[in-house]
Amino acid sequence: MPEYVILLSVPGLRGHDLANMPRLQTLVAKGDCGELVPSFPAVTCPVQANMTTGAPPAEHGVVANGFFSREQQQVEMWTSANDCIASPQLWDIMHQHNAALTSAVWFPLHSKECGADYVCTPAPIHNPDGSESLWCYTRPESLYGDFLEAFGHFPLQHFWGPAANIKSTAWIVDSAIHAARRFRPNLFYLYLPHLDYAGQKFGPDSEDARRALSELDGKIGKLIDGFADAYAESRPLWLVASEYVISPVDHVAYPNRALREADLLVVQEKTDGEHLDFAASRAWALADHQFSHVFVRDNDAATIQKVVKLFDRQPGIAEVLTRDDFGRYDLSHANCGDVVLISEPNSWQAYYWWLDDDLAPGFARTVDIHRKPGYDPVEMFWDPTAKGIPLDATLVKGSHGAPALTSEQRGVLLSSERGVFVERPTADTDVADIVLRQFGI
């Protein structure tokens, strides 16, 4: 059994992409290779929770990249608090088995409160004036001071938005090598997000997406070399899991606009435009890539049926699920909405509720992932010479999140050694068991 395991989480990676990634291809050339089947919803936070707990959303409770509190009437997108995960994660199970087994968690989006020994995750500070300070959370806390001296501030502006590029992944790699040399954790879990950007902005088969493969491979090569030096005579087992892949899209649906036109969604007129009124709305949709949770006030059965009828056979919508249907996808959890809308593979769902762009809320034209009650990939098209974000959702050329029913919607699971897993389609929930087996658990 290996003493050390490196688990790379690389969203957007497809099997045929390895032809453009010589360093990664060499790393896994003598290992296992199989399809990785992401559970629905195939988006960042749920899939990362699936892989690190071995449980589906119905058990761990991470049903989207955002959460809606019915009691507080408040949405929290891209939460970094691990207290939302109701199942033990890899590092918790390893500690229970053997307290001497250590883990490092590098940049998954919900790692701040996790039980790993060493942690690094983005954690912007929201200042009273509305601005953000670029920072990241580390455990031990003093580690960020080391990174600041060696590499400068974490380039948060390059992690998401119009300036997203290889610089953030480069910082992640450099800081991980630094931590590996200092701590040599038994499990090192790294999230490398670079393929997400061009795939969504220009499409997964675009020239920009192919260029991103080469850029990422260069940083993975640096990581391989740095970890070889850090672990010296020991030879870590490498596992590479692609989370999900990005599908080309040529259509966008607007569930909140449909709900508004059906007199189910209500807005508040404020000085900076129309804001969604959660309390007054009978139904509204938390849109997240290729699906959305529709929350119905007081779980009213008549309204739920009206929502179902509204979206049945709506262009771009493949399935309309009520709570009786959630078990089909291991999604039955209190965090879910009352109705879930699933997109066709070539379509995605925008959060927009305004019918006139001049009435859009002020944050709509800004990069503000925490205030928007829904995911907004159009942020990548922010233009400082114009009004900001163009509010044209048709610009987006790639998305993910729908059930991975075909090979084209599935990624890969790779290992650096043979015999680690059976080369057949593997569920994301099986990744945790594969990791734990390496430590005799």
Q: Report DSSP letters for 187-212, one per residue.
A: EEEEE--THHHHHHHH-TTSHHHHHH
Say if residues 105 and 95 touch (Cβ distance below 8 Å): no
On the question of pLDDT at 354 being above 70, the answer is yes
- Cα separation, 383 vs 28, in Å, equals 40
User: What is the predicted pLDDT for the residue at 128?
Assistant: 47
Share of the chain above pLDDT 70, in %: 95
pLDDT (mean) for 135-162:
85
Residues β-bridged to residue 267: 276
- Residue bearing the bigger pLDDT, 221 or 84: 221
Question: Who's near 315: CB < 8 A, 6+ residues apart?
Answer: 251, 253, 347
**Topology at the third CATH level for domain 251-396:** Gyrase A; domain 2 (3.30.1360)
Q: How many residues comprise the chain?
A: 441
> Is the CATH number of domain 5-247+404-438 3.40.720.10?
yes
DSSP-H helix ranges across 254-300: 255-261
Say if residues 154 and 171 touch (Cβ distance below 8 Å): yes
pLDDT in tens, 184-203: 999 999 999 999 999 999 99
Among 57-66, 74-83, 402-411, the least confident range: 74-83
Q: Backbone phi, then psi, for 295, in 5-degree steps? A: -100, 125
User: What is the predicted pLDDT for the residue at 82?
Assistant: 53
Rounded (5°) CA angle 368-384-148: 60
pLDDT (mean) for 281-296:
98
pTM of the predicted structure, to 2 decimals: 0.94
Question: For residue 112, what pLDDT band results from cuts at 50, 70 and 90?
Answer: low
Alpha-carbon distances, residue 188 vs 51, 180, 236 (angstroms): 14, 8, 10
On the question of pLDDT at 127 being above 50, the answer is no
Q: Backbone phi, then psi, for 324, in 5-degree steps? A: -65, -20
On the question of pLDDT at 66 being above 60, the answer is yes
User: What is the predicted pLDDT for the residue at 83?
Assistant: 60
On the question of pLDDT at 227 being above 90, the answer is yes
Question: For residue 381, what pLDDT band results from cuts at 50, 70 and 90?
Answer: very high
Describe the chain by its helix, strand, coil percentages, rounded to 5: 35, 20, 40
411 Rama sector, left if φ>0, alpha if ψ -120 to 50, beta otherwise: beta
On the question of pLDDT at 81 being above 60, the answer is no
Which residue, among 84, 74, 81, 44, has the nearest Cα to 286 in the 3D structure?
Answer: 74
Question: For residue 92, what pLDDT band results from cuts at 50, 70 and 90?
Answer: very high
Question: For residue 384, what pLDDT band results from cuts at 50, 70 and 90?
Answer: confident
Say if residues 234 and 4 touch (Cβ distance below 8 Å): yes
- Tokens representing 112? 């701040």
Task: Please give the mean pLDDT across all residues of the chain.
Answer: 93
On the question of pLDDT at 293 being above 60, the answer is yes
Residue ranges per structural domain of the chain? 5-247+404-438, 251-396
Q: Is 132 helix (H, G, I), strand (E, B) or coil?
A: strand
Question: For residue 72, what pLDDT band results from cuts at 50, 70 and 90?
Answer: confident
pLDDT (mean) for 387-403:
95
Share of the chain above pLDDT 90, in %: 79
- Helix (H) / strand (E) containing 309: helix 301-311
pLDDT (mean) for 413-423:
96
Q: Backbone phi, then psi, for 109, in 5-degree steps? A: -80, 0
User: What is the predicted pLDDT for the residue at 367?
Assistant: 87
